[in-house]
Structure 1
Amino acid sequence: MNKKTYFKNMSIGILLIIALIISGCSNNTASGDNNGEQNSGSYPDGPIEVIVSYSAGGSSDIGARTLMQYVEKELGVPVVVVNKPGAGGWVGWEELLNSKTDGNTIALINTPNLMTGYMDPSVDRNESLDSFSLIANHITDPGVIAVRKDEERFNTVEELIEYAKENVLTTTSTGVVGDDHIASLKLNKNFGTKFNAVHNGGAGESVTAVLGGHVDVLLANVGDVTTLYNDKEIKVLGIMDETRSPLLPDVPTLEEKGFENAVSWSSRGYAAPKGVDEEKLKVLTDAFEKAIKNEEQIKTMEKAGLQVNYLNEKEYEEALINEENGIENIKELLNW
């Protein structure tokens, strides 16, 4: 083989290798699907951060981390949960609203904490429900009243209420004018109890405070106590809902025991900051709908004591507006 032929063949070989590399890269780019492979050619083209505005270990955190495994499969990119506790949830929500509107940052939002955070006149926030682009509701979680398993002063909700009429008792709260705080105020107004809320960063801290004997009564949600209750590590005295929880079927409601108008619940859904492109938002809403409706996910949530209640963005908005109206009706309890 002469030198001219040698270099000609080498050039052809190099061109073939380059063509194969380009072809391989093209195939990799086009192979993104809902099985966890990233599609770098369209949104989402990188990790998505999910802000959870409460401490790790509570039901909000557990629910988010469990759901995101399914959302991740639908989107085909990593979905990373980051805890940002404080100010009744508003440390995380303010970070969300200050983030880029590129669809790469979303957040878990909890009610009524979200509404009270911007409706409270003393806070003087400019935000409102219109500051968020809603994605979907995931969980609706009724309130509970629980105590340590070795609590001897009261073993039923009736005994607790009677004791609290004569004695000041501390109760847990995940933040000022959060659902637990509002629940304690309702109990005080309706039944003459003397509950005094102790605010902290999340449900995990609340449980720790009660189990450690630092706070008398745990005001939380079904999802926070189901595992503890089933393991007999805590006594749940009552459900603050109109009906019993299917996850704690043997625990009576307060209404059953004669304590009416003692309802408390928290809904948990997801939102992006206002201004995210509609096509990107549609990708998110579709992915969350499939993830939330996934039967395996629903069963996993039930085992964790969390009741799935999917609402699309329009239904979710209606529910949140109704929650706003409900808070308006108890403004006097909050000294607003």
Structure 2
Amino acid sequence: MWSSLAVDVLLGNLFGLVLLYHAESACIWILKFSSDITNELLRSGCVWLMGVPAGFKLNNELAEVLGMISLTAIQIWSTIWIFLVSLFLYFIRGLAISGIIFGVTIPAALIIDLIALATLHVSTLHWLISLLYSTQIQALAALWRLFRGRKWNPLRQRLDSYDYTVKQHIVGSLLFTPLLLLLPTTSVFYIFFTIMNTTISLMCMLIEVTISFIHATPYIKIFLWLVRPRRFPSGIWFEIVSVWSGGIDSPRDINSPSEKLQPGKGLTGEKSSVVVSFLHSNFLTVGQIVMPHYNKVLSGKPRTLVATAAYGVLTGRRIPSSIGTDLPTFPWMLISYKEYWRLCRDSVLVCYRA
């Protein structure tokens, strides 16, 4: 635990000093990168989608409405971002100072919050488009069940047969046709903003996983492995040097197929009285030491995350923005700070009396 805290503070000092020394350069680079993403990617992408993207013929009216809403939201956020530029340098310096004082975990969390704040317009537009897309998909699915004479039973969670009237079929046909024809236009905008939002979420997940690996790495075990690798055995094996049989010392090559040692007998088939061998031990590698800790941090979450994200993309539902890694549990997470320090004091007193 203390080694993880020490490494966290050490990395925080390294990150904070470098960032504090290059604060102005980092501020200029981040602002330029944000401006390029907004102008070159978002605005040009929305204008491209309002035309004929990749040769697909979309509904002009719906594409213009969605494109104008997106461009308006991007312009509003760009205007707000201009007023925040004057305070951005102070935030960078505060980020560096927090890393020096509290360690690298605090700046990492603040960077994730900064990314979420700087891309608020992208997440908002993605939420609006996904709401429209998911509603359209659900309506098409319900109308398709109407044509098949089926109805969803929410109590038993199954499809039951149902007799619809002629008027219901006519209304369903009138609604199904425009919704199906407008689906490609909505899907193109949804795919574009989903790619943007997923890229942002992957950046936040990468920072989260990096911090989790920093805390989960067993630094003390690695140090002991470098100093005394014998403290990490992974199995033993015997090296038979010679066999004393019938008063003759007859060393043999036990790896030879014709020189197999039979139970209770020597290598020549005679009764053996003494077998001279050396006991050797295998040692764990660094990968074998640290991989159980890394597996505990992830614990099958990437597979679940990919399945949830794929289902969310296909149905228009919310995509997870955090992988939810299992960080090591420290004592102060389970008990109050007064009880924790009382236990520390009692432990010191017991050691002193002993």
Kindly indicate which of the two structures has a greater share of residues assigned to strand: 1
Greater C-alpha Rg: 2
> TM-score, with normalisation over the residues of structure 2?
0.19
Kindly indicate which of the two structures has a greater share of residues assigned to helix: 2
